[in-house]
Amino acid sequence: MIVLGIESSCDETAMAIVKDGRKLVSSVVASQADLHSKFGGVVPEIASREHIKAITPVLKKVLDEANMSLDDIDAIAVTYGPGLIGALLVGVSYAKALAYASGKPLYAAHHIAGHISANFVAFPELEPPFMSLVVSGGHSHIIQIDDYTDYKIIGRTRDDAAGEAFDKIARAIDLGYPGGPKIDKISQGANSEWLQFPDSHLSGNQLDFSFSGVKTAALNLINQMEMQAKKDNIDVWDKFSKADFCASFQKAIVDVLVEHTVKATETAGLDKIVIAGGVAANSLLRSSFTEACSEKGWKFFAPPMKYCTDNALMIASLGGFMIQAGYEPVDMNLDAKASLDIETFASMKNK
């Protein structure tokens, strides 16, 4: 089964061709990160316009790299949610046009499920069940994977996503966008114990996340440091260490991500943890999980860096497993959904 995947949920226009859910044939990503960096984050309308410009050249390139035509494709899978509605609409509309013109079946894929599926391409030996942490600029979920398309949400953020918190703090200290990689880089070798940020204590599901408190604490600290530096007539980052500040903030985010995921894995009686999403590229997150899983005797899977950010190989892979699981193709009434629960998506195969 050869699947063409299409991804346009945020600021990457991507297509990929994957065979049987596991074997990557070709992958192309047209990123808009440099364009949005001057705004400190993704501007939705600009993202949508750039998707329109890029999507046809990306299709041509991915087919050329695979030495294939649309006739060689068995099915098309497209991200229809969650994400920026305008950006999603570009990919969904294009996928419907391709499916209609080529006569190929079209499958509606979930963005978060796609991130998890990228690991099936990266690690041929990986099989469910396992616990997955999906962390990005828009999502922070702990998800139990019982089968290739069976998902159970164990914990999720109640406010900011981890990547969103990184972006906001990076913008506040003039590091730029995207914030996560920049905070990770400046934190290398710095003192992560310079400051102890507050922990969030939640009622209800203790495996949920809340990053608004640590973000607010960081913003308040920045304001306090700026006032102190102003009194001394000196730049704030000449008086204080930006690297130590970032390292401490990063540790506060990573510690809770690892702690909650390990607790969820223990409770479920599983012995494998898989991470996915843009924040999965964070070096401290990877090393912390490596250490935690080693202590438990568990297996740990972290995708290659190039598979962490948005791409289409994850969507093509998911499409292959959706077909195997009995999902039905969608018709031309498919619409994009800015908000889409992964458990709702999983239930589609039973309809």
Tell me the binding residues for substrate: 134-138, 167, 180, 184, 282
- Is residue 194 within 8 Å of 250, Cβ to Cβ? no
Binding positions for Fe cation are 111, 115, 310
Residue 145 to residue 152: CA distance in whole angstroms: 7
- Give one DSSP letter per residue of 209-225, joined into a string: B--HHHHHHHHHHHHHH
Binding positions are 111, 115, 134-138, 167, 180, 184, 282, 310
Closest by CA to 281, choosing from 180, 132, 166, is 180
- Is residue 117 within 8 Å of 318, Cβ to Cβ? yes
Residue 199 to residue 36: CA distance in whole angstroms: 32
One-letter amino acid identity for 231? K
Q: Determine the distance from the C-alpha atom of residue 112 to the mean position of all C-alpha atoms in its chain, rounded to a whole number.
A: 7
Cis previous bond, 178, omega within 30 = yes
- Give one DSSP letter per residue of 260-307, joined into a string: HHHHHHHHHT--EEEEESGGGG-HHHHHHHHHHHHHHT-EEE---HHH
- Is residue 275 within 8 Å of 302, Cβ to Cβ? yes
Closest by CA to 280, choosing from 166, 176, 149, 202, is 166
Q: What is the tally of helices (H) and strands (E) in the chain?
A: 13, 10
Does the CA dihedral 191-278-113-49 come out positive or negative?
positive
